[in-house]
Amino acid sequence: MSDRAPEVAFAGVSLRYPNGVQALNDVTFSVPAGSICALMGGSGSGKTTLLKLVNRMERTSAGDVSLDGRPVDSSDPVMLRRSIGYVIQEGGLFPHWTAERNVGLVPRLLGCDQRTSDELVTSAMDLARIPRAEFGRRRPDQLSGGQRQRVAIARAIAARPRLLLLDEPFGALDPAIRAEMQDELRALVKRLGCTVILVTHDIAEAFAVADRIVLIDHGRLVQIGSPVEIALAPSDAVAAAFTAKQALELRLRHLRLADVAVNLPTCDGTSNTELSGERAVADALGAIARSGDERFTVLHQGRRLGPFHRRAVWDLLQRGTA
Amino acid sequence: MTWSAFLVAHWADLWWRFGEHVALCACTLSAACLIALPLGVWLTRLPRTAGAVLGLCSVVQTVPSLALLGFLMVITGRIGWVPSVLALFLYALLPILRNTIVGLGTTPPPVRQAATALGMTADQVLWQVSLPLAMPVVFAGLRTAAVWTIGTATLCAFIGAGGLGVFINRGIETVDARMVLLGVVPAATLALVVDALFAWCGRRLTPPGGP
């Protein structure tokens, strides 16, 4: 793989198992270079299968997966996999190896000399915030769940891959650690400039980490869009069902006031309460409530929008969230 | 005759028979390991054949030892070591083979998947991941086979293979409990010592952490 992050393209991808199960059905989308894409769906939706097509752990029965236009099927699977970082739920760390030996796996497989491999291990463990001096000689059973996932992430990035595949990487962690790791992960991969494909069934995780979300259901692509688009404009009932349970919370936490304001009806009257469009909706609603004013205006990209009524925001947020 | 006088009288004979017994078991176990370990590793890639082979071994296991010895004596047309080693070998196959296959199957699926996804070849996964993690189970099989072989080898005296069973046979014929014990006690001690030896080797070869 080249030195820059690749674009990953899925073109008309289908997969039918010999037993007749259609795991994927004509899925087409692409993940722009350097972006983070979340594959979302329930269990059995085909999201993990889609991920495994990228490093040839599965093969398509029709269509192509390509990296920067080069079909993955034209690469040797073993060499391809060594160039792609991979993290699985529960980490999949080798229980009989120390943390540092686990992290050094891919550099060793690639035939790096001892010194280079040592440097890569140390820097990967630093980046994943699991310092080698303290944790390097511990075995997985001597680490907490969160620490194990950090080691797994360090192992995935050790050989400096330009593409990372993450399969429910935080699925087994408790919610507090999960939120912390999600923020860190996003910062880390943005710093490394990798293209990332993340499989998750947790919509909050997709919203927290991804630039784009791909909704998959029964092997079909349901909707692709930014978190804002997924939250505010589900393409159909299936897409709406994904966000239904947590829709209100997600919209409050992840939407900016400006995202909402462009969809709000203006109201009569005037307002002295002016809010920046960059503020999170939850935060803005708090500010409006404290101001004692029922109406507000929004300052967005030098323009003043509104006035709007506070109740209209709630109406919009709750639409379709029964 | 006192116990000590009895022992002194049979001392040389005891060591000779003990040596025969050890040699018989060592031949059998080495052959069984040499065949069953690689076969077990190979069969993990052919799950269906593995089932058939294990089934066959189980059938052998259900044949009473004495009957198997007699049967092999008839088909080989010989007495002594050849049918004895063959019978003991067939008995020892199953525990080693089954535990090797089961042990290699205990690699946690996420570990196996991560190993492959990060670019390990099938051989690298086997040697660096699956085999080290299978060691405790493989060694449990070796211990079973060893204890079994050492015990069953006493029956080989019936078809002229010598060993500690000679004393047991002689004791039964002459209704002499002391003579029976002269065969039983060293055989039992040998089994315990070999079992402990394998357990120790197993611990040395088992990586810490475990699956």
* pLDDT tens-digit readout, B109-156: 999 999 999 999 999 999 999 999 999 999 999 999 999 999 999 999
- Which chain B residue is nearest to residue A105, measuring alpha carbons? B118
Same domain, A31 and A119: yes
Please give the model's pTM, rounded to 2 decimal places. 0.79
Residue A282, in any domain of the structure: yes
B164 and B18 Cβ atoms separated by less than 8 Å: yes
- Reported as a single tens digit per residue, the pLDDT across B1-26 is 788 899 899 999 999 999 999 999 99
Inside any domain, residue A2: no
Least confident of A87-96, A257-266, B23-32, B62-71: A257-266
Give the per-residue pLDDT at B210. 53
- The count of C-alpha atoms lying within 13 angstroms of the C-alpha of B30, restricted to the half-sphere facing its C-beta, is 6
Mean of per-residue pLDDT scores for chain B: 90
Kindly state whether residue A219 falls inside one of the protein's structural domains.
yes
> What ipTM score was computed for the predicted complex, to two decimals?
0.78
State residue A53's pLDDT score: 94
B169 vs B172: CA distance, rounded Å: 5
Q: Tell me what the pLDDT averaged over chain A comes to.
A: 87
Is A57's CB within 8 Å of B133's CB?
no
Minimal CA separation from B113 to chain A, in Å:
7
Q: What is the pLDDT of residue A1?
A: 45
Task: Report CA Rg, chain A.
Answer: 22
CB-nearest to B118 from A81, A90, A141 is A81
Q: What is the mean pLDDT of residues A142-169?
A: 92
Of A6, A69, A35, the closest CA to residue A227 belongs to A35
Q: Are residues A278 and A226 in the same domain?
A: no
pLDDT at A322: 41
Is there a single domain that holds both residue A14 and residue A161? Answer: yes
Q: What is the model's pLDDT at position A290?
A: 82
Res A85: pLDDT: 93
- Indicate if A222 and A297 belong to the same structural domain: no
Q: Is the residue at A82 inside a domain?
A: yes
Nearest Cβ partner for B119 among A89, A97, A109:
A109
Question: A140 contacts in B (CB within 8 Å)?
Answer: 209
With b for 16 or more beta-carbon neighbours within 10 A and e for fewer, the A235-248 pattern comes to eeeebbebbeebbe
Q: Which of A96, A98, A168 best probes binding to B when mutated, by most B CB atoms within 10 angstroms?
A: A96
Pair A164, A279 in one domain:
no
Tell which residue, A3, A51, A15, has the closest CA to residue A196. A51
Inform me whether the C-beta atom of residue A161 falls under 8 Å from chain B C-beta atoms: no
> Are B14 and B162 in contact, with CB atoms under 8 Å apart?
no
Q: Is the pLDDT of residue A172 over 80?
A: no
User: Is residue B209 very low, low, confident or very high in pLDDT (cuts 50, 70, 90)?
Assistant: low
Give dist(CA A149, CA B58) in Å, integer.
Answer: 43
- Which residues span the domain enclosing A280? 256-319
Do A260 and A119 share a structural domain? Answer: no
The residue-averaged pLDDT of A283-294 equals 82
Cα-Cα-Cα-Cα dihedral sign, residues A199, A200, A204, A205: negative
Residues of B in contact with A81 (CB under 8 A): 116-119
The last residue of one of the domains, among A244, A273, A301, is A244
Instruction: Please judge whether A96 and B207 are an interchain contact, meaning their C-beta atoms are less than 8 angstroms apart.
Output: yes
Q: Are residues A173 and A294 in the same domain?
A: no
Q: Domains along chain B?
A: 3-205 (1.10.3720.10)
Query: Does residue A1 fall inside a structural domain?
Result: no
Distance (Å) from the alpha carbon of A28 to chain B's nearest alpha carbon: 23
List pLDDT tens digits, range A56-70: 999 999 999 999 989
Beta strand pairing call for A212-217 and A220-225: antiparallel
A93 at B interface, C-beta within 8 A: yes
The single-letter DSSP state of residue A256 is: B
Domain count, chain A: 2
* The domain boundary residue, chosen from A222, A244, A266: A244
* Closest C-alpha among A211, A173, A251, A171 to residue A37: A211
Closest approach of B160 to chain A, Cα-based (Å): 48
**Position B47 pLDDT exceeds 70:** yes
**Over residues A78-106, mean pLDDT:** 92
The per-residue pLDDT for A245 is 67
How would residue A318 be classed by pLDDT, with cut points 50, 70 and 90?
confident
A123 and A35, same domain (yes or no): yes
List, in sequence order, every residue forming a beta bridge with B122; answer none if it has no partner: none
Q: Is B10 left (phi over 0), alpha (psi -120 to 50) or beta?
A: alpha
Place of tokens 């998750």: A200
Domain edge (last residue) among A244, A266, A296: A244
Other beta carbons less than 10 A from residue A94's beta carbon: 26
Same domain as A39, residue A173: yes
- A151 and A94 share a domain? yes
Which CATH number fits the domain that encloses residue A98?
A: 3.40.50.300
**Domain CATH code at residue A278:** 3.90.1280
Identify whether A57 is part of a domain. Answer: yes
- Residue A250 lies inside a defined structural domain of this protein: no
Q: Which residue has the higher pLDDT, A181 or A238?
A: A181
Residue A261 pLDDT class (50, 70, 90 cuts): confident
The backbone torsions φ and ψ at residue A280, rounded to the nearest 5 degrees and listed phi first, read -65, 145
Q: Quote the CA–CA distance of A213 and A224 in Å, as a whole number.
A: 6
B120-138 exposure pattern, b = at least 16 Cβ within 10 A, e = fewer: beeebbbebbbbbbbbbbb
Residue A251 maps to a domain: no
Tell me, yes or no, whether A197 and A261 share the same domain. no
